[in-house]
Structure 1
Amino acid sequence: MLAALSVGLLVSICSQGALAAFGLTDNGDSYTIDAGSANSLVVTVDSASCDITSIVYYGQEYQYSAQGSHIGSGLGSADVTAETIDDVIKVTCTTDTLIHYYVFKSGDSAIYMATYTSAEPEIGELRYIGRLDSSVLPYEYPFGDVSTTADSSSTVEGSDVFVVDGETRSKFYSSERFIDDDVHCVYSDATHACMLMPQYETSSGGPFHRDINSNNGGDMTALYWYMNSGHVQTESFRQGLHGPYAMYWSRSGIPTLASVDFSFMADLDLEGYVADSARGTVTGTASGVDGDTYQTVLHWYNDDAQYWAYASSSGAFTSPAMKPGTYTMVLYQTELNVATSTVTVTAGAATAADIASAWAAGSESLFLIGAWDGKPDGFLNAENQLRMHPSDARMADWGPVTYTVGSSAASSVPMALFKGLNDPLTITLALDADAAAGAATLRVGTTLAFAGGRPSITVNDHSDSAAAPTQINSRGVTRGAYRGYGEIYDFDIPDGTLSTDNTITISVISGSSGDSFLTPNFILDAIELFR
């Protein structure tokens, strides 16, 4: 009896954690890949659709049984082949406009991937979605249950913002800025399944774009990498090779990008892959941004690729390895565009290119509300807006608000103005006679507009209105987004307008209409009156 029990226990241990045999099995209608990892990972790929239909890690099935994991919403059908190349197994799924690769390296508990596109998928976005069993992977990292919509009691907006236990939840609230998002996960107490993204060169939106990362929706927990979408998108989609990236499985916490080696994928003949030897870099110094107050961010982009980097405290920077070509180079004061230039990258070379802030402010500021950083940080409800709907009971009342220069705090000013809901914002300003004399400029900085919302201002008996902003056909503030084109509006205030007691109003105008928080609106960066 004891011998039988010992054998059974040994079999159980071996099936979970012992080093398995690396290998590929052709089942006729599917391929099964054993990664040969210490914590066993065995994956099955459907040979007709390219869907992953089984993920068994450490003896536990994690794949959602009702639907596979796949690129896009599933390819439907594809030419699926598999081969062993030394210590790597490569699965290739080919359609007329897309090639998706699954790659397994002997000993690694990871599903490495890359996706080549020559045209945008018909669904209008490119994503990989791991559809996983929520009963064994219920939690989300790094933002927790803000995107867990299981057990919702009602819908707040559309079919993607829900109420759970009195809190608004949405998959959109799982987002993180691309520049800061190299790993996000779903997990249990024992296991993490994480997406690792070493670079976003063929994605769209720039360093501050954000998109859906995860969602426990009930039966299924979804783990995403969105390469592009129409979710507050500010530029055209790029085609080519997206990735490499990986779905990494761990029983020892959250993996770091630095701990995972993607370099072996250079030898796998992936369509569109550009080796480091065929790339170049940009090095230089960024000046004019106060590094004690703001982040100093560099961004390079053209029609084919995008890259970014943080500068050091001294302003020194080196770009990632870039494809050769001519790029627009942007310097950001946190997220505010303060300089733009052009740089050409050559294969095998480091191009020197310094850049200096061209941000211009007046010599005399009569007041400043907020900070010129391209974000609504510091304004009322800004700290909550990324992770909940504006209607959430945890939000402070949106107003309307009156701000008194010299005594009110910026945190009393709502981060967004909504037409007919909390506009106008009223500002009262006392000046001495000398300060009241002369012309001035009222600058209203915005980060994102919805439904054509833009400012209309009055300064005492003077009024002015802004032209319509560039339209982004996407909900923003209600889905945890704040960044669009970042329009800044300068209104000339004629000499004789200001007095010792001043009332300024900022309202939202638009030719469009909407209900509640979907009325035309804009998000604030800062407001300044200056000469």
Structure 2
Amino acid sequence: MLLLVFLVPIFAFTSDVLAAFGVSNVNGNYVIDAGSPEELLVTVNGQSCDIQSILFLGNELQSSTKGSHIASGLGTATVTAETLQGSSNYVKVTCETPSLTHFIVVREGESKLYLSTYVTEEPSVGELRFIARLDSRLLPYEYPFGECSTTADSDGTVEGSDVFVVDGETRSKFYSSERFIDDHVHCVHSDSLYACMLLPQKESSSGGPFFRDINSNNGGEMTALYFYMNSGHDQTEAYRMGLHGPYVLQLSTDVPSFDDQDVSWYEEVGVTGFVPDSERGQVTGRASGIPDGFETVLHWKNDEAQYWTYASPDGTFTSPLMKPGQYDMVLYQTEFAAATSSVRVAAAATTTADLASGIAPRDTVWQVGAWDGQPTRFGNAGRQLRMHPSDARMAPWAPATYAVGASALDAVPMALFADLTSPLTVSFSLPADLGPATLRVGTTLSYAGARPSVRVNDWQGEDPPAAQKLDSRGVTRGAYRGFGEVYDFDVPSGVLVAGQNTVSISALSGSSGSGFLSPNVVLDAIELFQ
């Protein structure tokens, strides 16, 4: 489609702001009138690319303390603005630095900022994120998780400078996270004003479908609304470069529908690295072998991109539109990897690739928990995503005993802290001596290189090597997912006897730490089988 481009020179306009759709230059800054019914007016700094003003329905939503920007602010950039005519009319602001180009696109008649960020290396000015710094007086609330990440009026901190106490409850910006696969819309708002991030497939981010990161935080001085692309928070993959987005900052009077979003026109605006739908391909097929009660998730990844989808109840699936290339294809039993294969995606083509679970049947003696890659059935797991382990609403953290066939699963703490909850004792009775067996301990996350150390009756298992370290605090910042290590301990014949038996599991590490920052592992499941 032919696009007409109108560049906006620095000297082209007077200081009068346009009264209809378009962009003007006011004292070296770009003022965009969206021409929307809600009279959205956005001002972008012509030197730094910071958004300095967001006027919506007559309200100044932008915080006066700092601008809204990519990373921690570019400082300086080459900032240009142009008006484009295609299937609609657009204003496109381009902010260029040697390794990062940020785009702000406003479409005529809409109260939305279509944002995208192209990078060739991780920015030196801070984490790769977009942060809208908004007026906390007008937008005090957070959606969908409420006050767990609202840290305004805190009484003090319980950990570092980012976990606070407010009215006796622990709160942190980390507790606003949602799994990437489910994170489509998150907002900050009042009763009548909403600023929301609407997120597509995060194809250039890293971490997969179950990765989580900061979404929002009312810190008192301002309310922050985020889209994190690369952060290092429990990061399990190398960063991906290329184009992140488009992602959408929408201003509205209620929570907008993600299903109503359409960015198929985005190829008209000429954004670096954008791959249109016509140059993408898909994968279809059927996933099998995932038992009832578990989610069936498909995940495709390579060094350049990542994608995911839920399968239908009958196991059939269709991937999102993907960039061409060779991909690892992973089938998950909820979050537990059940099978892996490889598939090639071609432009304008659909590839068929079925995948069956590779989890083999076992002669299980007993099992504690479920192999789902999550700690959700264990003690305190239902609260851990939204509060610090020290919170008074948590059940006490202490060494525990789980009696097979008698105890509830929430008797097992979700995390084994070397300094608090180790050991976990599993007691069980056998009708006769058991020959050689395997004790399998699954973990979802390790902190400080911790791994399980086990003792079965009087037999001490060989300690495994230290787990791969993640440069992040893990459990205390609302995370439970890391590399997902599974440890097998070969129990010799004669150890498991008729009558009462015990298994003792502790968190082992050569690292130091105390309390909730002592070495720890998050539990997935424990199984004894032959």
Show the 5 A alignment for 1:486-525.
486-499=484-497, 500-525=499-524
TM-score (norm 1): 0.95
Number of the residue aligned with 1:269: 270
Aligned amino acid, residue 300 of structure 2: W
Q: Which residues in structure 2 correspond to 1:26-45 (within 5 Å)?
A: 26-45=25-44
Deviates more, 1:165-174 or 1:459-468: 459-468
Query: Could you say what secondary structure the match of 1:477 adopts?
Result: helix
- The match for 1:461 is 458
SS in 1 for 2:117: strand
**Cα distance, 1:406 vs structure 2:** 1.4
**Residues 325-363 of structure 1: CA distance to partner in whole angstroms, max 9, x if unpaired?**
00000000000001001100000100111101001242x
Q: List 4+ stretches of structure 1 deviating above 4 A.
A: none
- Find the counterpart in structure 1 of residue 101 from structure 2: 99
Question: How far apart are the structure 2 equivalents of 1:428 and 1:189?
Answer: 53
Structure 2 residue 441 is the aligned partner of structure 1 residue 440: no
Match of 1:423 in 2: 422
Q: Note if contact 1:440-1:529 (Cα within 8 Å) is conserved in structure 2.
A: yes
Task: State yes or no: 1:84 paired with 2:83.
Answer: yes
- Deviation readout 1:129-174 (Å, 9 max, x if unpaired): 0000000000000000000000111111011100000000000000
What is the aligned partner in structure 2 of residue 181 from structure 1? 183
Q: Measure the CA separation in 2 of the matches of 1:24 and 1:211.
A: 34
Q: What are the residue-to-residue correspondences of 1:42-57 with 2, within 5 Å? A: 42-57=41-56
The normalised TM-score by structure 2 is: 0.95
Contact 2:281/2:323 (CA < 8 Å) preserved in 1? yes
**Partners of 1:349 and 1:274 in 2: CA distance:** 15
Match of 1:311 in 2: 311
Contact 1:415–1:523, Cα closer than 8 Å, also in 2:
yes
Aligned partners of 2:73 and 2:125 also within 8 Å: no
The aligned counterpart of 2:287 is: 286
Structure 1 residue 28: Cα displacement: 3.4
Residue number in structure 1 paired with 2:140:
138
Structure 1: runs of 5 or more not aligned: 1-18
After TM superposition, give the deviation of residue 420 of structure 1 in Å: 2.4
- The aligned residue for residue 214 of structure 2 is 212
CA contact (8 A) 1:124 1:230 kept: no
1:408-459 deviation line (CA, Å, top 9, x unaligned)? 11111000000021100011111101xx321111110100000011100000
Identity %: 62
Q: Which moved more, 1:306-315 or 1:118-127?
A: 118-127
Matching residue's letter, 2:276? A
Cα offset, 1:27, TM superposition? 1.2
Q: Is residue 264–residue 276 contact of structure 2 (8 Å, CA) maintained in 1?
A: no
Match of 1:351 in 2: 351
Q: Deviations over 1:204-245 (max 9, x none)?
A: 110000000000000100000001111000000001000001
- C-alpha distance in 2, partners of 1:21/1:123? 35
**Map of 2:468 onto structure 1:** 470
Query: How far did residue 66 of structure 1 move?
Result: 1.4
Q: Secondary structure at the match of 1:178?
A: coil
Post-superposition offset of 1:503: 1.3
How do 1:63-78 and structure 2 match up within 5 A? 63-78=62-77
Alpha carbons 2:264, 2:277 under 8 Å: kept: no
The 1-side partners of 2:200 and 2:92 are apart by 19
Deviation at 1:260, TM superposition (A): 2.1
User: Aligned partner of 2:489: which letter?
Assistant: F
Amino acid at match of 1:342: S
Report the Cα offset of residue 287 of structure 1: 0.5
Contact 2:157/2:165 (CA < 8 Å) preserved in 1?
A: yes
Count of residue correspondences: 508
* Gap regions ≥5 residues in structure 2: 1-17
State the secondary structure of the residue aligned to 1:180.
coil
Q: 1-side partners of 2:434 and 2:338: how far apart?
A: 30
1:323 aligns with 2:323: yes
Residue 450 of structure 1 is aligned with which of 447, 450, 455?
A: 447
Q: Distance in 2 between matches of 1:495 and 1:427?
A: 19
Q: Bigger shift: 404-413 or 173-182?
A: 404-413
Where do residues 398-409 of structure 1 align in structure 2 (5 Å cutoff)? 398-409=397-408
Counterparts of 1:148 and 1:412 in 2: how far apart (Å)? 30
Q: Separation in 2 of the partners of 1:21 and 1:299?
A: 45
Give yes or no for contact 2:71–2:126 (8 Å, CA) kept in 1: no
Per the alignment, in what secondary structure is the counterpart of residue 402 of structure 1?
Answer: strand
- Amino acid in structure 1 at the alignment position of 2:183: D
Separation in 1 of the partners of 2:136 and 2:101? 29
Q: Write out per-residue CA displacement over residues 285-312 of structure 1, whole angstroms, 9 at most, x where no aligned residue.
A: 000002x310000000000000001000
| Aligned-residue offset at 1:20 | 5.9
In structure 2, distance between residues paired with 1:334 and 1:260: 27
User: Once the two structures are superposed, what CA deviation does each residue of 1:373-410 show, in whole Å capped at 9, x if it has no partner?
Assistant: 00001100000000000000000011210111111111
Q: Find the counterpart in structure 1 of residue 242 from structure 2.
A: 240
CA distance in 2, matches of 1:373, 1:235: 21
SS class of match (2:181): helix
CA distance in 2, matches of 1:506, 1:237: 35
* CA displacement 1:157-204 (0-9 Å, x = unmatched): 011100000000000000000000011000000111000111200011
Secondary structure in 2 aligned to 1:444?
A: strand
Q: C-alpha separation between the residues in 1 aligned to 2:515 and 2:151?
A: 22
Q: Amino acid of the residue matched to residue 384 of structure 1?
A: R
For 2:126 and 2:207, locate their aligned partners in 1 and report how far apart those are by CA, in whole Å. 15
Report if the CA contact (8 A) 2:175-2:387 is conserved: yes
C-alpha displacement of 1:121: 0.5
Whole-angstrom CA distance in 2 between matches of 1:123 and 1:503:
53
- Partner Cα distance (2:300, 2:443) in 1: 23
Contact 2:74/2:125, CA 8 A, preserved across alignment: no
Larger deviation, residues 261-270 vs 90-99: 261-270
Q: Is the 8 A contact 1:155 1:163 kept in 2?
A: yes
Q: Counterpart of 1:366?
A: 365
Checking the alignment, whether the CA contact within 8 Å between 1:20 and 1:37 is kept in structure 2 is no
- 2:299 is matched with 299
CA distance in 1, matches of 2:219, 2:455: 47
Q: Indicate the SS of the match to 2:265.
A: helix
Tell me if the contact between 1:307 and 1:322 (Cα under 8 Å) persists in the aligned partners. Answer: yes
Determine if contact 1:404/1:428 at 8 Å carries over to the other structure. Answer: yes
Take 2:265 and 2:247, find their aligned partners in 1: how far apart are those partners?
Answer: 12
Secondary structure, counterpart of 1:267 in structure 2:
helix
CA distance in 2, matches of 1:103, 1:297: 33
Distance 1:370 1:91 in 2: 52
Contact 1:194 1:247 in 2 (8 A): yes
| Displacement of 1:471 | 1.1
Cα distance in 2 between the residues matched to 1:494 and 1:169: 47
Q: How many Å separate the matches in 1 of 2:335 and 2:360?
A: 16
